[in-house]
Structure 1
Amino acid sequence: GGGRVALTNRVMRHYNFLAFTEMATRSLHMIFSTIMSTWIQASFGQHPKIAEYNALTDKVVSATAHVYKTVLKELLPTPAKSHYTFNLRDLAKTFQGVLMGDTKRLTEPEDVVRLWIHECNRVFADRLINKDDHAWFLELITSQVSTRFSLEYADLVPGRLMFGDYIVPGAEPRLYQQVEDFDKLVKTMEEYLDDYNASTTKKMSLVMFLDAIEHVSRICRIIRPPLGN
């Protein structure tokens, strides 16, 4: 990428150089297909639409692998975008996010696709820094939804798309589910803020509007999984 300085052989002679080839697409597909199919069978094995859920395994894995490889190829690091470095951890985090979903709320196969879109946005799109890159990524996801799942992005995501485990304060376990009532979400976040201010002498005077709440939701998504931060 731009801005990288090549190391001279004089410097490199002091180090051992290790390298490995990129994992083949077939291997990626086998690994993550096993993970997805196991989760689907455990979660939806008794569902009347189990055949449709099973069909999602290949579609989700293929779509995610395509998104990952396209991002890896097109979104290269530059001096202004030095953090545009993606690796297999990002691919794994996407599936990790999908598997966090509360399966009781994923009552239709389309709900799983919607969750997949959200996780792709959290893993890849949240790292992008300008409107052009965001528009490019949205087009990439939209095309995958159409070609892989035979669905329309606008039908699945008519507005804001948010998943989180903060919807029910004090819940145990905390269920990762889609936010459907945004008015209720604002009130819930204000309650969280009031609880915090009641427990500290350094109060935070914040206005919890939806854009701010969306950032809070992203942070919650980051710290939820083990070693997420």
Structure 2
Amino acid sequence: QVQLGSFLLRHNFLAEIQKCCSLLSSCAIAIYYRTCHSMRPTPAKCHYTFNLRDLFKVLQGLFQANESVIITKDLAAQLLVHETTRIFHDRLVDAGDRENFYQYLSEEILNYFKISWPAGKLMKDPVEFVDFLDLDSAAKSRVYRPVTSHKQLVSKLDEYRMKMRMSSAIAGDTYVFFMEAVQHMTRATRVFRQPGSHMMMVGLDGTGKSSIAALSCYISGCKLFRLLVTQGYSHAEFREDVKKVYKEAGLRGQSAVLLIRGSDIIQDSFLEDITCILNLGEVPDLFDKDELDGLLVELKAEAAEANMSDSPQSLLDFFLQRVRCNLHLVLAVSPAGQSFRQRCRTHPSLVNCCTIDWYDGWPQEALLSVADTFITQQDVVHENKGHIAAVCVAIHNSVSSKVTQYQEETRRRYYVTPQTYLSFIDTFTHILHTKKQKLMEDR
């Protein structure tokens, strides 16, 4: 409460908003305790471990408020709804838990702010804050404001997608902005705008985690780094990749995102280094003495501009401070199998230090939109396009419905993922293209 009060005072928020300081902090604490008591970890929900770091993440989110935007008690409450939802709700895995959370949220907002927002309304029309609605603003000068039009939000995302594609010589991913994909992007950009924040995206393969991370990085003005894991990829090579990110964040002072997929973690030693980054912002013995000395020499001029001493220890502290501020770690993992649960249990920092975003399977409208987009690229006759997309969805659903029967009869799990669906559509479009070419040649 003291930190929040100082922030509101320092940034000259209206007196009405400054009076909300105790309401904001007390309501956040109440939501935190209700979530802790009702959402208990189980083998299937091993990441349901809430602690005071989560409360601090809510506070850190409130610090993104802008005095020109948060000018009423209602807007202050909306910001709190958004931040608590991002921290507590987004990791929840099923509809029952999500409904319960929104019920707690509705009750506590009514209790503290005397504002009636039914749980159903909060679920149907979720409150969202973003900072990228002004396309021309520099990343560091953007204003965090509520989304008032979903259509406008999708339009802005599409503009960023086109700009990203034009700025890259490599053909990018195909994006389909269905509602869930848009929500995941706003969650990722929220993490990337906060200094030193990290994220864990949890979803089956093919749900779009890497693509969403890539576009969110571009929107947030971050440079994206990926691991190129090949046969024989070693811990030494992993550390070389980490060094590149450290130089970008610490030496050049640029925001950088290191995207690590679950399949990239092929040695336990990788996890140890990841844990060090999450907890401390530094990896022991990452640079040898000569490398470190070279880095510190390059850093002297910028350290002097920041009124830092040029002693080796001061320069090292300055370097690590910039790394902690500018580096964002994104773990894109699958909950399938045992590795996710085992890693959460043996390395609790993965849960404690990351904002977690749980990716559901795609809903029907998303499946239809994706099929429609990919089929459109094949110049299918317009009147047939909708029918073909609908058939693709129906086939996918029929296979999915057999999975439960397969599991009951064989006691073995089989996953029909969005990646399976994309592969199916890709196979169809490839065959269609091949047949078209053959017809043209036969003529």
Q: Which amino acid counterpart does residue 107 of structure 2 have in structure 1?
A: S
**Equivalent position to 2:106, from 126, 142, 145:** 142
Larger radius of gyration: 2
Q: Which amino acid counterpart does residue 42 of structure 1 have in structure 2?
A: R
**Equivalent position to 1:86, from 50, 59, 81:** 50
Find the residue that maps to 2:53 and give its secondary structure.
helix
**Equivalent position to 2:175, from 190, 206, 209:** 206
**Equivalent position to 2:76, from 96, 106, 112:** 112
Where does residue 34 of structure 1 map in the other structure? 2
Name the stretch that deviates more: 127-136 or 209-218.
209-218
Aligned residues: 193
Partners of 1:58 and 1:122 lie apart in 2 by 21
Q: Which amino acid counterpart does residue 35 of structure 2 have in structure 1?
A: V
Q: Which amino acid counterpart does residue 137 of structure 2 have in structure 1?
A: A
Partners of 1:214 and 1:208 lie apart in 2 by 9
Greater per-residue strand proportion: 2
Where does residue 129 of structure 2 map in the other structure? 163
- Cα deviations by residue, 1:38-89 (Å, 9 ceiling, x for unpaired): 12223345x3xx1x32331111111111111222222111100001111111
Where does residue 196 of structure 1 map in the other structure? 164
Where does residue 151 of structure 2 map in the other structure? 183
Partners of 1:227 and 1:190 lie apart in 2 by 27
Q: How does 1:65-76 map to 2 (within 5 A)?
A: 65-76=29-40
Q: Is the counterpart of residue 60 in structure 1 residue 29 in structure 2?
A: no
Q: CA deviation at 1:154?
A: 4.3
Partners of 1:63 and 1:200 lie apart in 2 by 48
Over the matched positions of the two proteins, sequence identity in percent amounts to 25
Q: Which structure 2 residue ranges, 5 or more long, are not aligned?
A: 199-443
Where does residue 22 of structure 1 map in the other structure? none
Partners of 2:116 and 2:12 lie apart in 1 by 24
Computed over aligned residues only, the root mean square deviation of the Cα atoms, in angstroms, reads: 1.9
Consecutive aligned runs of 4 or more in structure 1 exceeding 6 Å deviation: none
Output the TM-score relative to the length of structure 2.
0.42
Name the stretch that deviates more: 81-90 or 191-200.
191-200
Q: Which structure 1 residue ranges, 5 or more long, are not aligned?
A: 1-32
- Whether contact under 8 Å (1:167, 1:185) holds in the other structure is yes
Q: Is the counterpart of residue 95 in structure 1 residue 63 in structure 2?
A: no
